[in-house]
Structure 1
Amino acid sequence: MRLRELRVFIVALLVVLFLVFSIIGFQTFGKFAEPIDNVTATAIELAKGNYKVRVPSVLDGTIDQLSTSVNILARNLQDISFVRKIEEERLKTLIENMGSALVMIGREGKITVVNKPFLNQFDFDFDKVDNQPFRNTGLPSEVVEFIDMIFMTEKSARKQIRFEYQQVKHMELYGAPVIGEHGRWLGVVVVMHDVTELVRLEQIRKDFVANVSHELKTPITSIKGFSETLLDGAMEDRQALHDFLQIIHKESERLQFLIQDLLELSKIEQHGFSIELHRTSLREIIDRSMEMVVQKAEEKEMSLVLKMEEDIEFEADTGRMIQIVMNLLANAVNYSLSGTTVTLQAYIENGHAVIKISDEGIGIAQQELPRIFERFYRVDRARSRNSGGTGLGLAIVKHLVEAHNGRIAVHSTVGKGTTFKVSIPLWQSM
């Protein structure tokens, strides 16, 4: 009987011990398993790119060290991600606002990066070029050939091209291969800078030098030729002497006028050029200007008609305004046929003093109008030279009008005449 009771007791004791150890083991396992689960879950979130997640702090030394290490890693990854985003924003801002068109093409020949200047330059939509083969986007053939050359040579290159895309354009292209870490070939980047305006200005400069040389050469050649003829014996002939001296005098005057106009234009175009503004009378300016051209008009039996209801007072530089009106009147007289009329109108319009000078002359073709204010540009070179002009008058007029914060416009019909309209603010302080 006692043996049976002892067995029951032992079994019961074993059951109790099992239950106790089970409870203790479960509690111990839970104590270590939960922090490990937290660390595991945090690591999974970090792998997904969620760098804001953190492991809850625990009191156990070993697990706490692991949790702290994972949290430090998370903070470092978050800081790196933040810095990377800032750098990406800076790079994006730089690319978008660099002023030049930029395109990056991957190793497969597909466009991977473009900026707004590139899209605007060729009138592209981003969706139609993004990740598209560069050959299929409609780029000018000259640009495609340049990109192909960079791909083939794998070397940096620079080239200026001329092409017609809606209008004639000049582009400075710079292309370079993009090499990643360990020499990995990533593609090609091309920067395109529009130099159309620079090319135009360079052409104007070349034309100016050529025209100045030509304009100076003509009178100098005449003076030299006739003076040599006189020295060779023609001076013994009184009539020839008189005629040749008149020609020399006329050509020297022409040379003097040209040099004066060149110096005047150079002075006006200099930085810091200013005009002396004061209250002045438009009627006085017009009267003094007409006095300077009336003799020439009478020689051609032309009429000068002024249409002005009342005097207009405005703020301007009197001497420069006389120069403006006199130049325009002189052109109207010089390029009009004998017996015609030059009409000058003056009135106020939208807070501006307006001067309109109309002639009944040869007129100017529409394609010539955008260039008539360029230095030495002549619609009819032979006729302009015979009229005695230097080719600088309208360039000077335009600069002086702009110095008054004004505007000058021209309307012309070939065979019917030309009208210049000058608008000057009544008060410069407005």
Structure 2
Amino acid sequence: MKSLYSRLSIAFATILVILLAGLGIVLGQFFHLIDNEITKQVQLKFYYYLLFILPLSFLLTLFIGMRVIRQYTKSIDQVTHTAQMISKGDNLARTPIDDRHSNELAIAVNQIARNLQEKSILRAMEKERLKTLIESMGSGLLMFGREGSVNLVNGVFEKTFGYKRDELVGKTFKEIGLPNGIERLIEDVFLTEHVHECQIRIRQSYVSVYGAPVIGRHGNWLGIIVVFHDITKLIRLEEVRKDFVANVSHELRTPITSIKGFSETLLDGAMEDPQILRDFLEIIQKESDRLHLLVDDLLELSGIEQEGFQLHIREVSLSSIISDAKKIVSGALDKKRMHIIGEVDSTETVQADPDRLIQVMVNVLTNAINYSKAETTIRIATIVSSKGATIVVEDEGIGIDSTELPRLFERFYRVDRARSRDSGGTGLGLAIVKHLIEAHGGTVKVESEKDIGTKFTLFLPNRQI
């Protein structure tokens, strides 16, 4: 494309040629009309003079004119070039400014370029922030344009539903193949232009779907946005809470019903028989002890789960912990003619809360005794390393089916409910064990084979005292 300077120079030269040609014609006509008093010799000399002066004047005028034009068009050509670069997206383009001459047009164009550059940087930052926010929000996001086609998808949605972004963008919600509940919600939002919510189940997960219209600043319809919240944990916590309330109610109801029933029987006249009175009172006492134990375990578990729960960590001897636990369960051992074997080195120590660790060992040993046959053996072994201490308790009991192992540490879960109740168990012992070991920063694992036995492995890491 020709510059402004080139176009003006050609125009100026053309005009100058036309003017000179016109002047020559006018002079020719003039000399043709004058008297013959001027001799031909003088005419000839005058023509020679014109032929010399006119080209010289033409060249001089052309040179001066081009210089003047160049001075005023150079800056305009530079501004034009800068404007063309800006129009192509190069916001870094600038027009050079001569300090000797004030060029307001160049200054204005440079200011426009700087403003565009700042806005471009700001827009890129906002776009990056929006992208980061959408990808980091933790919920699936799906946005439809006013035509009903997908124009925005985030990574959480892709992972939740197993789609690829390239497969979704540009398609309508009918073409994607979403679950029926989600399709109905999206259709309702499009039709009513109001917010709609629903909950659906996708495989093993629960998702809360929120759909809302997207309205512009001036009230114009831009499309809809659909957000998918994973509420699987909330649903499962709610189920655990319901199970917990139901189990507590059931566990409390049984002893209370027994106490109420036997006490009413006694008041109705059975207390006149000394033997019946004694038997019923023993049953009432047994149920009261069971009720007391259940309430104590519930309070203990609640205290462990509280945020302010603290352990009193110090270095303790493993042999003394296990010895104290054996003494506490010795009565149950003698009743079933069982015994515990396993020598523990008196020099082996662990960093733990001694009272809580004794509680853990008592619960594990009590569980092993309750679910073992009479005249069997419980083995205890310890392993101490630089990382921490491991305590292994292995019995020869009824064992646990592999399908029940994941639920073993749930509250009130019993492998054999009848046997557990007969032994006075509350179903909270192993739940307390798990919480106390995890409070120490350790882990508890269980291995079992049906009708062969069960092995508990407790690991306590070394901690800063």
TM over 0.5: yes
For the residues of structure 2 that align with 1:316 and 1:58, how far apart are their CA atoms? 80
Match of 2:199 among 143, 153, 160: 160
Shift of 1:328: 0.6
Q: 2:370 aligns to what?
A: 334
Partner of 2:79: 39
1:196: how far off? 1.0
User: For structure 1, which runs of at least 5 residues remain unmatched after alignment?
Assistant: none
Instruction: Measure how far apart 1:139 and its partner are.
Output: 4.6
Residue in 1 aligned with 2:158?
119
Superposition pairs of residues 149-298 of structure 1, within 5 angstroms:
149-164=188-203, 168-180=204-216, 182-298=218-334
Question: 1:308, 1:347 within 8 Å by CA — same for their partners in 2?
Answer: no
2:390–2:457 Cα contact (<8 Å) kept: yes
Helix, strand or coil: the match of 1:366? coil
**Which residue in 2 is equivalent to 1:412?**
448
Partner of 2:436: 400
The verdict on how the C-alpha distance between 1:141 and 1:349 changes in structure 2, with shifts beyond 3 A counting, is: farther
Q: For 1:149-193, what per-residue CA distance to the aligned partner results, in whole angstroms no more than 9, with x for missing partners? A: 3333332222222221xxx00112222222345444333222222
Against the structure 1 CA distance between its residues 311 and 59, is the aligned structure 2 distance closer, same or farther, given a 3 Å change threshold?
Answer: closer
Q: Does the 8 Å CA contact 1:357/1:419 hold for their aligned counterparts?
A: yes
Contact 1:161–1:172 (8 Å) recurs in 2: yes
Q: Does 1:429 align with 2:441?
A: no
Partner of 2:35: none
- Aligned-partner SS, 2:427: coil
Separation in 2, partners of 1:163, 1:146: 15
Pair 1:98–1:184, CA change in 2 (3 A):
same
Matches of 1:340 and 1:322 in 2, distance apart? 23
2:125 to 83, 86, 91: 86
| Structure 1 counterpart SS, 2:50 | helix
The residue identity in structure 1 corresponding to 2:186 is I
Aligned pair in 2 of structure 1 residues 14, 136: CA closer, same or farther (>3 Å)? same
Displacement after TM superposition at 1:262 (Å)? 1.2
| 2:454 counterpart SS class | strand
Displacement after TM superposition at 1:60 (Å): 9.3
Structure 1 position 39, deviation (Å): 1.9
Is the 2:434–2:444 Cα contact (8 Å) retained in structure 1? yes
| Residue identity in the other structure for 1:407 | T
Which residue, out of 86, 95, 106, partners 2:134?
95
What is the number of equivalent residue pairs in this alignment? Answer: 425
Contact residue 197 and residue 211 of structure 2 kept, 8 A? yes
Matched, 1:25 2:65: yes
Structure with bigger gyration radius = 2
Measured on the aligned residues, the alpha-carbon RMSD in Å equals 2.4
Corresponding letter in the other structure for 1:105: F
Q: Where does residue 47 of structure 2 map in the other structure?
A: 7
- Cα gap change, 1:18 to 1:49, in 2 (>3 Å): same
Q: Is the 8 A contact 1:142 1:163 kept in 2?
A: no
The equivalences for 1:293-372 within 5 A come to 293-308=329-344, 311-349=347-385, 351-372=387-408
Residue 74 of structure 1: aligned partner:
113
Q: Please point out which of 122, 126, 145 is paired with 1:106.
A: 145
One-letter code aligned to 1:12: F
Matched residue SS, 2:383: strand
TM-score normalised by length of structure 2: 0.84
Normalising by structure 1, report the TM-score: 0.91
2: CA distance between counterparts of 1:3 and 1:49? 66
Deviation at 1:318, TM superposition (A): 1.7
The answer to whether the 8 A contact 1:307-1:343 is kept is: no
Q: Give, in angstroms, the shift of residue 410 of structure 1.
A: 0.7
CA distance in 1, matches of 2:146, 2:403: 47
User: Aligned residue for 2:96?
Assistant: 56
Structure 1 position 209, deviation (Å)? 1.3
Whichever residue aligns with residue 73 of structure 2, its letter is A
Are the structure 2 counterparts of residues 218 and 135 from structure 1 closer, same or farther at C-alpha, using a change threshold of 3 Å? same
Query: How big is each residue's C-alpha offset from its partner over 1:314-363, in whole Å with a ceiling of 9 and x where there is no partner?
Result: 22222211111111111111112223322222232563222111222222
The 3-state SS of whatever aligns with 2:337 is coil
Task: Please say if residues 185 and 197 of structure 2, whose CA atoms lie closer than 8 Å, have aligned partners that are also in contact.
Answer: no
Give the counterpart letter for 1:396 in structure 2.
I
**What secondary structure, in the 3-state scheme, does the structure 2 residue paired with 1:415 have?**
coil
> Which AA in structure 2 matches 1:101?
G
For 1:331 and 1:5, the matched residues in 2 are separated by 139
Q: Distance in 2 between matches of 1:70 and 1:347?
A: 79
Amino acid at match of 2:221: W
Conservation of the 8 A alpha-carbon contact between 1:335 and 1:361? yes
Q: Give % identity.
A: 48
Unmatched segments (≥5 aa) in structure 2: 1-40
